[in-house]
Amino acid sequence: MTSKTGIATLACMNKGTVFVTLAVIFLVASYFISRTVRENRTVVIYVSHDQDYSQPVLDAFEKETGITVKAVYDTEASKTVGLTNRLIAEKGNPQADVFWNNEVTRTIQLKREGVLEPYIPQRSNRIDPIHKDAEGYWTGFAARARVLVVNKNLVAEPNVSQSLESLTNIQFKNKVTIADPRFGTTGPHLAALYTIWGEEKFTTYLQHMKNNGIYIAQSNGNTRDMVVSGEMMVGFTDTDDANDAISEGKPVRMIYPDQDEGAIGTLIIPNTIMLIAGTKHKTEAMQLIDYIISPETESKLAHGKSAQMPLLSDVDVPDNVPAIETIRAMAVSWEDVYTNLPKVLDIAESVLLQ
């Protein structure tokens, strides 16, 4: 016969066994749920910045966090414009969570179209207000500049003027190239000139460039390549394209134009990162944005062939990357540049592209 004490002991053992069993079941279930959640963590990013430069950053984020990054890149010729139009078309059913844009005006367009949702990255307070949206719709990082790339074999260094206006001189006839302003950073560059000079001087400048035989290339990269080959003496391009050629030992040098006292300065163009409204992976999207707005990411982009200039302070950079504050920058508002862009493209199309 079982004693009452034995029954009580058995009951306690049964309760303990049940508790242990439930605990094991809970832990096992939690493990599989957690693993499933980790395996399913994904972020979709549209990227207009060159894949050669941006993919290593995204690969590093994926490796560090375990979040799968699905990146959509655009072509060299249609980048920024193509992805902007795609994001607007998908506004009712967003397919992207984050947009990494390589300029600012199309980013402002997306904000005005209601495609973006505000998000202020963790290090936003370390970014100069001129390089970010006051309401948190976008944040700038890793800047480029609009520069001149010059073939050293064709143009002796003392003979190269550092003014954009000098390129209308006869010595450069049929030897200057610029990318199609309807795509990429050329349009915003022209819109910045329009904003500073006004319509009359801007239109006259384009007409003089046209009369001097300026060649309209397909892209900034194509512009650089024509100067590298010697087909052209001078090209308007971006620092990343110029640095790419310089790092490969091509016979070119880079000039930051209009740096003299009282000159208009050089256009500085930050990359921009932004959260898409209606994102399906908001937590992962915010984590990716925080990762991109970091000294580590800016250092990667500075040390790469793109040699981009950090907007955060205390970032490790190579000797060939200047501090952003050492460059005389064009004093223009990006909102004004965006507002003037349609008018500028109309003028450019009628003067340069006919």
Residue 67 in this model has a pLDDT that exceeds 70? yes
Query: Over 70: is that where the pLDDT of 111 sits?
Result: yes
Q: pLDDT (tens digit, 9 = 90+) per residue, 118-143? A: 999 999 999 998 899 999 999 999 99
Q: Is 224 helix (H, G, I), strand (E, B) or coil?
A: helix
Give a yes or no: residue 9 inside a domain.
no
pLDDT at position 81: 76
Looking at the structure, do residues 133 and 186 belong to the same domain, yes or no? no
Q: Is the pLDDT of residue 266 over 90?
A: yes
> Are residues 139 and 193 located together in one domain of the fold?
no
Instruction: Count the neighbouring beta carbons within 10 Å of the beta carbon of residue 351.
Output: 18
Q: What Rg do the C-alpha atoms of the chain give, in angstroms?
A: 27
Q: What angle do CA 134, 136, 138 make, to 5 degrees?
A: 100
Q: Which domain holds residue 197?
A: 145-267+339-351
Residue 21 maps to a domain: no
- Whether the per-residue pLDDT at 161 is higher than 80: the answer is no
Residue 158 sits in the same domain as residue 235: yes
Residues 6+ apart with CB under 8 A from 47: 54, 58, 71, 72, 73, 74, 83, 99, 100
pLDDT of residue 22: 61
Q: Which residues pair with 99 in a beta bridge?
A: 46, 274
Write the CB contacts of 253 (distance below 8 Å, at least 6 apart in sequence): 149, 150, 152, 157, 246
Nearest-angstrom CA–CA distance, 57 and 47: 12
Asked if residue 257 lies in contact with residue 148, where contact means CB atoms within 8 angstroms, the answer is yes
- 123 burial level (CB within 10 Å; 0-12, 13-18, 19+): middle
295 in the same domain as 193? no
Total domains present in the chain: 2
How far is the C-alpha of 315 from the C-alpha of 29, rounded, in Å?
Answer: 44
pLDDT band with cut points at 50, 70 and 90 for residue 76? low
Please, which residues have CB within 8 angstroms of residue 283's CB and are 6 or more apart in sequence?
Answer: none
Q: pTM for the full model?
A: 0.81
- Residue 349: pLDDT above 80? yes
Q: Do residues 170 and 149 both lie within one domain?
A: yes
Residue 78 predicted with pLDDT over 60: no
Task: Give the residue-averaged pLDDT of 151-160.
Answer: 78
pLDDT confidence band for 36 (50 / 70 / 90): very low
Concatenating the DSSP letter of every residue in 90-127 gives: TTTS---SEEEESSSHHHHHHHHTT-EE----TTGGGS
Question: In this structure, are 116 and 255 located in the same domain?
Answer: no
Per-residue tokens: 127? 């970014």
Q: Decide if 30 is inside a domain.
A: no
With respect to residue 177, please indicate whether it lies within any of the assigned structural domains.
yes
CA pair distance 318, 268, nearest whole angstrom:
19
Question: Per-residue confidence at 37, pLDDT binned at 50, 70, 90?
Answer: very low
Say if 115 falls within a structural domain. yes
Contacts of 220 (CB under 8 A, 6+ apart): 179, 184, 185, 186, 237, 238, 241
Looking at the fold, whether 74 and 194 belong to one and the same domain comes out as no
Two tokens, residue 276: 């898409």
Least confident of 90-104, 153-167, 283-297: 153-167
Question: What's the CATH code of the domain at 345?
Answer: 3.40.190.10
Q: Report the SS3 class of residue 89.
A: helix
Reference 256, options 158, 337, 178, 161; nearest CA is: 161
Asked whether residue 240 is domain-assigned, the answer is yes
Question: Are residues 171 and 121 both part of a single domain?
Answer: no
Q: Residue 101's pLDDT band (boundaries 50, 70, 90)?
A: very high
The secondary structure of 161-222 as a DSSP string is -S-GGGGGSGGGTT-EEEE-TTSTTHHHHHHHHHHHH-HHHHHHHHHHHHHTT-EEESSHHH
Statement to judge: residues 285 and 257 lie in one domain = no
Q: Is pLDDT above 70 for 6?
A: no
Of 51, 142, 241, the residue nearest 132 (C-alpha): 142
**Can you say whether the dihedral through the CA atoms of 341, 107, 246, 231 is positive or negative?**
negative
Those residues whose C-beta lies under 8 Å from the C-beta of residue 291, and which sit 6 or more positions away, are: 61, 64, 65, 297
Do 181 and 278 lie in one domain? The reply is no
Q: Does 212 lie in the same domain as 197?
A: yes
Identify the pLDDT of residue 68: 98
In this structure, what token pair is assigned to residue 329? 């920058």
| 293 belongs to a structural domain | yes
Residues 56 and 185 in one domain: no
Q: What percent of the chain has pLDDT above 70? A: 86
Does 232 map to a domain?
yes
Q: Give the model's pLDDT for residue 162.
A: 81
Mean confidence (pLDDT) of the chain: 89
